[in-house]
Structure 1
Amino acid sequence: MKKQVKTAAVLFLLACVSMTSCNTSKKDNNNNMIEKVSFGKLPDGQETELYTLKNASGMEVKISNFGGTVVSWTAPNNKGVYEDVILGCDSVAGYVKGVPYFGALIGRFGNRIANGKFTLEGKEYTLAQNNGVNALHGGLKGFDKVLWTATPIEGEEPALKLTYTAKDGEEGYPGNLSVEVVYTLQKDNALKIDYKATTDKTTIINLTNHTYFNLNGNLDSDILEHEVTLNADKFLPVDKTLIPTGELKPVTGNVFDFLKSKKISAGINDTTDTQIKAGGGYDHCWVLTDSTKTLKSAATVYEPKSGRVLEVLTTEPAIQFYAGNFLNGTIKGKNGIIYKHRSGLCLETQHYPDSPNKPAFPSTVLKPNETYQTTTVYKFSVK
């Protein structure tokens, strides 16, 4: 009998080792947990993984090693009910099929580069024109479409380290770029994202995260009644292809003024504003009033029905506020929900778009003897 039990135990362990779908989890003394399950296979047969970070208060953040994607994120409303507050897909197949960067890590260069070209140290580089005539979010296969190496980190707060090396010439960019991103779910219901990178050749870099938030908890609704504050006294006007003109325009006296909290609906459909017409709504980069590299508050979002509050803190000089203008009801997301026009908003902390072609903008150049380091925190609370 003992021999049979022992044999069964060995077979079970071997099965778990051979099956990527076998659940594994780690739990510390503070009831923080990291769990890993299969997230499905890529077309080339590679297995993807889904990691769940859970803190003691009950918040859960699910992250895939495919694209470093934040797949789901539960946050409590003012009645203590936890609900998923971000757009996404049920499995990796949805992301492979094609979605507008739901929850993904963006790189090597977030946002747009005009005409898919830039010059660095006297040499011109050509990128894929994957957004009209412009390059967008790292190219045809940016960091959102690669398989990262994931390592759970034990400690007082659950964390997941993701690493990836982009090869010299990948998507047209110079230099072997070694990237490390650490997601940490903190005790205070904040998700901290630490970005770090080094290169062996002078290159450009602008990393961010492209999570779509809907604080209502009902992903079938729009975000127009969300109230937004942006701690930014200027924004970057754009041309008809959404490339910055180079001007830093004060927000005072126009619909881009979010220095005081206001509903998104208050200005997003103002077709008398040429910039609203250019972006089809809000899809612009705001220049933070505090442009230092210290961690400071960049934005706050409040959803009145649920009472949820999202604060964004960052070491970056700017934030792209995008109100889901290009969502059009053609994407089926989690639980079969069809994502309608403006059903999610993005707050992408970053350097300015098209910086490599705008010498007056803060530099996005990274040299071999330097280390790129930025931090962004998304913190939830209620009122």
Structure 2
Amino acid sequence: MPISTDSFGKTADGKEVTRYTFQNKNNVIVRVLDYGGIITDIIVPDRDGKMEDVNLGFDDMEGYAGGRFMGALIGRVANRIAGGQFSLDGTSYSLFVNNGPNSLHGGKRGFDKRFWEAKVDGNRLSLKYISPDGEENYPGEVTLTVIYELTDENELIIDYTATSTKATPVNFTNHAYFNLGGHASGKIDDHRVQINAEHFLPLDDNSIPTGEIRKVEATEWDLRSPVRLGDRLGQVPGGKGFDHNFNLSLSGEKRLAARVEHPPSGRWMECHTTEPGVQFYTSFYLQDVVGKAGAIYSQYGGFCLEAQHYPDSINQPSFPNCVLRDGETYRQTTSYKFGISS
């Protein structure tokens, strides 16, 4: 079906926000805003045909202005940069610090808080944002185009293309929070998770990778076979569940990164990506947030699978390169596919 549009209200400074609604032949519905590229809804059936929104979010712009990144496109650099500092080609840069001593998800006003130029082409929504040279103190003018597409195979495809006028670090992702029991169904203990990664990145006390690339074998981070989250979250050292980068193949080919199943409803979701890593976050920091239809989102009430480059890559020479230079083109394709188990 063609993409439809309606108003999602206004920002605090009075700018109109447009919502775009996708619907496929299976009546799966996805909704996206031109503000932040935010995914507001993902409505999919369970094994009995009951439709449920499995995407945490808010009913209005006031909720999304709260800065929790729910459902949004993240840039210029997703995840954390240690100390809000980096050096590139002999020049040092200082960034806005918004996560302890670190810069997180683009700084004070990242891509999640920007209006995107929207264009509809059939069943695709193209969102374009031009980040000026010096925005959030990053070098170079970056032009990023993100295309959302919902297929009749219940796959939400997110395709990214970017260029820059100067060398600059980039790391783009989408920060959707999922709960396959339904956005208001509470803790994710009954979800079963599998991540196809043989290595992960240990963290220091400020949630910055130590630089070690450690095998998951014989650790609590071994999710290569399905694991019930309720049986594992309390075992993860640090007592905060998962908020870690899992290292994927460096082939650059799109492949299966993770699969999550929800046995009570029969729903499952797969994340496929071309990216070298996926940040698995089990929402430890959700603290009784009031979401859609008055739902209360609490600790471990959702999970994120953020396909991206490794955190703090700009400060870690042994990590895959995250610098985009003039004349180069950045490409990423990540998708979330939904289905039902018998």
Q: Same fold (TM over 0.5)?
A: yes
Contact kept, 8 Å, 2:56 with 2:183, in 1: the verdict is no
Q: Which has the larger radius of gyration?
A: 1
Secondary structure in 1 matching 2:64: helix
Deviation at 1:80, TM superposition (A): 1.5
Whether the aligned pair in 2 keeps the contact of 1:220 and 1:340 (CA below 8 Å) is no
* Amino acid in structure 2 at the alignment position of 1:163: K
Partners of 1:219 and 1:360 lie apart in 2 by 41
Q: Which residue of 1 aligns with 2:160?
A: 195
Greater alpha carbon shift after TM alignment, 312-321 vs 36-45: 36-45
Letter in 1 for 2:228: K
Partner Cα separation in structure 1 for residue 67 and residue 58 of structure 2: 9
Which residue of structure 2 aligns with residue 353 of structure 1?
A: 311
Residues 36-45 or 345-354, more deviating: 36-45
Asked if the contact 2:283–2:300 (Cα under 8 Å) also holds between the matched residues in 1, the reply is yes
**C-alpha contact (below 8 Å) 1:38/1:48 kept by paired residues:** yes
After superposition, the C-alpha distances for 1:110-131 in whole angstroms (9 at most, x for unaligned) are 0000000000000001100110
Distance 1:138 1:218, change over 3 A: closer
What is the SS of the residue equivalent to 2:233? coil
Contact 1:162 1:180 survives alignment (8 Å): yes
1:60 aligns with 2:29: yes
Please point out which of 53, 59, 83 is paired with 1:90: 59
**Structure-1 separation of matches of 2:75 and 2:94:** 16
Contact 2:270 2:336 in 1 (8 A): yes
Matched, 1:36 2:5: yes
Residue number in structure 2 paired with 1:18: none
Secondary structure (helix, strand or coil) at the match of 1:221 reads coil
What SS class does the counterpart of residue 188 from structure 1 fall into?
coil
TM-score normalised by structure 1 residue count: 0.88
Q: Secondary structure at the match of 1:78?
A: coil
Q: Distance in 2 between matches of 1:364 and 1:231?
A: 22
- Structure 1 residue 291: Cα displacement: 2.1
- SS of 1:267's partner is helix
User: With structure 2 as the length reference, what TM-score do the two structures score?
Assistant: 0.98
Please give the per-residue CA displacement for 1:135-175, whole angstroms capped at 9, x wherever unaligned: 00001100000111111111xxx111000000011011000
CA RMSD of aligned residues (A): 0.9
* Structure 2 partner of 1:319: 278
Q: 1:41, CA displacement in angstroms?
A: 0.9
**Alignment match of 1:105 (pick from 50, 73, 78):** 73
Structure 2 distance, partners of 1:99, 1:137, is 10
| Structure 1, gaps ≥5 residues long | 1-31
Tell me, yes or no, if structure 1 residue 241 matches structure 2 residue 206. Answer: yes
Residue 223 of structure 1 aligns to a residue in which SS?
Answer: coil
Residues 88 and 102 in structure 1, CA contact (< 8 A), matched pair in contact too: yes
Give runs of aligned pairs for residues 135-284 of structure 1, distance below 5 A: 135-154=103-122, 158-217=123-182, 219-270=184-235, 273=237, 276-277=238-239, 280-284=240-244
Contact 1:180 1:195 in 2 (8 A): yes
Q: Does 1:304 align with 2:254?
A: no
Residue in 2 that maps onto 1:76: 45
Structure 1 distance, partners of 2:251, 2:275, is: 8
Measured against aligned partners, the alpha-carbon deviations of 1:41-84 in whole angstroms (never above 9, x if no partner) come to: 11221111111011111010000011100001101111122110
State the SS of the aligned residue for 2:76.
coil
- Assess if the C-alpha contact under 8 Å between 1:194 and 1:373 holds in 2: yes
Figure out how many residues of one structure are paired with residues of the other and give that number. 341
8 A Cα contact 2:291 2:297, kept in partner: yes
CA distance in 2, matches of 1:247, 1:267: 23
CA deviations on 1:89-111 (whole Å, 9 max, x unpaired) are 01112111x14211000000000
Which segments of structure 1 move beyond 2 Å, counting only runs of 4 or more?
Answer: none
* Aligned residue number for residue 322 of structure 2: 364
Query: Which protein has the bigger helix share?
Result: 1
Aligned-partner Cα distance in 1 for 2:292–2:68: 14
